[in-house]
C-alpha cells in the first residue's frame, strides 16, 4: 500500500528546448527513486520574472509539462502524471494543486518535494493552503527536501535571501486570508500574476537571482 496518494512537485524553471535546470531534475529524480504507483502532480506554468521558452511550433513550454515529460522519459507511466498549468508562483502552486487535482480526486495523503532553498516557504504555504476551510478531507502533508549542491553559489545565496524576504511577505498576507474563498478572491483581485485589475509588474531583478528561475 502506498504511503501517499500523490506526490506534488513545484516548478523551478525551464530552459530553451524544455531542458530542466539541475535543481529541478533533482526533484523529479527523487520522484523516480521513490515512485510506487501513486499519482504525481507537476506544478507551475512558469514565472512572472521572465517569459517562457517556446517550442518549435512557437507555443510556450510550461514548467509542469517539461517536468512531466522528464518523468515519462524516466519510466513514470503517463496515466499517473497530472499536470497543472495555471500557477506562476508558490501560492498558486498550492491553490491550483488543491482546487484542480487534490480535492477533485480525493487525494488525502500528499508528499511535496522541492529544493532545500525553496522548502521553508513551500512548507509554510502548502500547510496554510490545505488548512483553509471548507475542508472535505483531512489532509496529511509530508515534505521532502532535495539538495542544492551544484547550484551557482552566488545565485543560490541571492535566491535564499529572496526566499527569506518572500516568506516574510507571505506571513503578512496569510494573516488576512482565512478561507479558500478569500484566497481565491485575493488571487484574482490583488495578485500580480492572476488579477486582471493589476497591470503585470516589470520586475527588475539581478542576474544571479534570475539564474535560479
**pLDDT of 4 over the 70 cut:** yes
Q: Are strands 39-42 and 81-83 parallel, antiparallel or unpaired?
A: parallel
Superfamily grouping for domain 6-210: HUPs (3.40.50.620)
Contact (Cβ atoms closer than 8 angstroms) between residue 18 and residue 59: no
CA proximity to 48, closest of 203, 185, 209, 159: 203
DSSP character at residue 200: P
Is the model's pLDDT at 200 over the cut of 70? Answer: no
Angle at 22 between CA 29 and CA 206, to 5 degrees: 145
Q: Are 155 and 211 in contact (CB under 8 A)?
A: yes
pLDDT at 97: 99
Interhelix angle 63-73/22-34, rounded to 10 degrees, is 50
What whole-number percentage of the chain has pLDDT above 70?
97
pTM for the full predicted model = 0.95
Give the domain ranges of the chain.
Answer: 6-210
Q: Which of 67, 129, 68, 120 is nearest to 93 (CA)?
A: 129
> In this predicted model, what pLDDT tens digit does every residue of 129-173 receive, in sequence order?
999 999 988 999 999 999 999 999 999 999 999 999 999 999 999
Residues in the chain: 213
Amino acid at each position: 500500500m502506498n504511503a501517499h496518494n500523490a506526490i506534488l512537485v513545484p516548478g523551478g524553471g525551464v530552459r530553451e528546448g524544455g531542458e530542466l535546470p539541475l535543481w529541478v531534475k533533482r526533484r523529479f529524480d527523487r520522484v523516480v527513486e521513490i515512485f510506487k504507483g501513486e499519482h504525481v502532480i507537476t506544478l507551475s506554468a512558469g514565472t512572472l520574472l521572465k517569459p517562457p521558452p517556446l517550442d518549435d511550433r512557437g507555443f510556450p513550454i510550461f514548467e509542469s509539462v517539461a517536468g512531466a515529460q522528464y518523468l515519462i522519459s524516466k519510466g513514470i507511466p503517463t496515466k499517473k502524471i497530472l499536470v497543472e498549468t495555471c500557477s506562476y508562483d508558490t501560492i498558486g502552486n498550492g491553490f491550483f494543486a488543491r482546487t484542480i487535482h487534490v480535492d477533485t480526486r480525493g487525494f488525502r495523503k500528499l508528499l511535496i518535494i522541492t529544493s532545500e532553498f525553496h522548502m521553508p516557504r513551500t512548507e509554510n504555504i502548502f500547510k496554510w493552503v490545505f488548512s483553509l476551510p471548507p475542508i472535505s478531507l483531512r489532509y496529511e502533508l509530508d515534505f521532502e527536501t532535495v539538495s542544492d549542491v551544484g547550484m551557482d553559489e552566488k545565485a543560490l545565496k541571492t535566491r535564499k535571501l529572496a526566499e527569506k524576504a518572500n516568506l516574510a511577505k507571505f506571513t503578512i498576507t496569510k494573516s488576512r486570508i482565512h478561507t479558500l474563498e478569500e484566497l481565491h478572491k485575493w488571487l484574482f483581485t490583488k495578485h500580480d500574476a492572476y488579477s486582471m485589475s493589476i497591470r503585470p509588474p516589470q520586475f527588475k531583478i539581478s542576474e544571479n537571482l534570475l539564474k535560479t528561475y
